[in-house]
Amino acid sequence: MTARALLSDLPAYTALKEHAVKLQYASLEGLFNADSNRADTFTASAAGLHLDYSKHLLSSSALASLLDLAEQAGVQHGIEALFTGAHVNNTEDRPALHTLLRASSGGGQEDRFLEVQRARERMQVMAQKLYRGEHTGYSGKTITDVINIGIGGSDLGPRLVTQALKPFQGTVQCHYVSNVDPADLLDTLANLDAASTAFIICSKSFRTEETLANGLAARNWMLNAGATTAQLDKHFLAVTTNLQAARDFGIPEENCLPMWDWVGGRYSVWSAVGLSCAIAVGWDRFSEFLAGAEAMDQHFRNSAAHCNLPLLMSLLEIWYCIFFHASNHVVLPYDHSLQRFPDFLQQLTMESNGKRVSADGRELDYATAPVLWGSAGTMGQHSFHQLLHQGTLLCPVDFILPLNTHTKAAQQHRILVANCLAQSRTLMVGRSLEDATNALMKRGLDEDKAATLAPHLVMPGNRPSSVITMASLDPGTLGALLALYEHRTYCSGLLWRINSFDQWGVELGKEISTEILGQLAGTNDGSTMDAATDRLIKLWKDAQR
């Protein structure tokens, strides 16, 4: 491919380094005092989401330089390339058309869109039959539980969506198994009745080691419970391209839904991989989920840079990673239903952008994807928030806050909202040595003791955060939220000049695992590893005797 200028070669890069020096020790409170309109200016809204990024170490001139950087990097061209089917995944020579999965029209991709429509229609029939209690198992019992067996994007996305939309669920319970550790599957099966349980095997190749191992164990469980081989089709569905392997397993073609190579696993919840979600909440709600994502797609594609939510969030990521050397990014959803959201984002962001070379193979001279982590509020306030407020690491934070609750516990939700807003403000204002001293003296400490203890209560403040709000967490806003972070991740990849759609770093570990598995099974005793790995293999073998 044609070499593009690296981010560090663009004119705006030098200007941003100068802005960062000026703003490194800026007072966020001072920035607010200097601009009475800051709280309104540094905001943007789309698809039911509102982004407040006013509490960032960012001036109007620095923001202008970031927008210049996006223009110089050709981000808008890259956005069009994504939607029009260009081979943005250059190392695997294919497009990344996950947006087509939630689109309401082909937009120039009519042949592929027709495939999507056909798959969507078949998916709807399967989902509705289970959702309405019309699907029965080998004994005639209605299916009441569905277990999705997959890993990575075939697990994290549907697991998150099903949990997040729990208030909208029907009577069928959906469960998720991903770990090859047998305890994961066995614990899930412990209280279920085989006669009323169905499985979805999600594996494009139908050869994914962990998924196939769990699938075979589930198959044996079903056979041991009394089902015959001929009756497995009543209990097993698959999302795969390997129809022969599925057929050999006992899943007929009519029970299989497709996966396409132009959809990466971490972007696949919008496809048939989301079948379990559609079963859990029903097709109408799942359609609302797709529509919310499509609304964000249209905003991303058509909005000007200065009000484009995914681009603005991407520019903030670039700003802190490169110019402030922030190696962490924290996502804190203040809604228990979104407790799996940081897990989902870890794969989306770090598998996409955890790269050290450009799309054309050049080693980069700047930092790329930060480590992403977080948990649902307010639990983190009693553990890692200590580091956010007083630690030595700079960790930009995204707070995610639905303004209304699906529960009737208004007072508890009021407490939750207060805590979220308080954490964002505390990160910004901190507490000075003088304030800490005065607070201790008000508690009754004398001046000397207060002076001794006060440094431990100081919080430097000026720690950046965004607040993303929505009226409520529903299928539409959830779809928009996931699409927002997908597009933010892609924009960051464009700016960093990397390919966000391959994951070669996953491959070598799989290859070595196969070699070690051969040694553990005694079929590859001739090969050796490093001395430490050989010793650990021997320890495992000795423990089996």
Q: Where are the beta strands (DSSP E) in 394-460?
A: 397-402
> Is the backbone peptide bond immediately before 378 cis, with ω within 30 degrees of 0?
yes
Map residue 431 onto helix, strand or coil: strand
Instruction: Write out the catalytic residue numbers.
Output: 351, 382, 510
Strands 197-202 and 371-373, by their bridges, are unpaired
φ and ψ at residue 527, rounded to 5 degrees: -85, 155
Helices 283-302, 475-496: crossing angle, 10 deg rounding: 40
Compute how many other C-beta atoms are within 10 angstroms of the C-beta atom of residue 541: 12
Query: Between the CA atoms of 278, 401, 24 and 393, what dihedral angle is there, to the nearest 10 degrees?
Result: -70
Q: CA 135 → CA 124, 127, 201, 235, 306, distances in Å?
A: 13, 10, 17, 9, 50
DSSP at 89 = B
Identify the burial level of 322 via C-beta atoms within 10 angstroms of its C-beta, where 0-12 means exposed, 13-18 middle and 19 or more buried.
buried
Specify whether the CB–CB gap between 349 and 264 falls below 8 A. no
As given in the structure block, the two tokens for residue 118 are 């056909």
Instruction: Specify the long-range contacts of residues 286-290, CB closer than 8 Å, at least 24 apart.
Output: 286/127, 286/475, 288/474, 288/475, 288/476, 288/479, 289/161, 289/165, 289/475, 289/476, 289/478, 289/479, 290/101, 290/102, 290/479
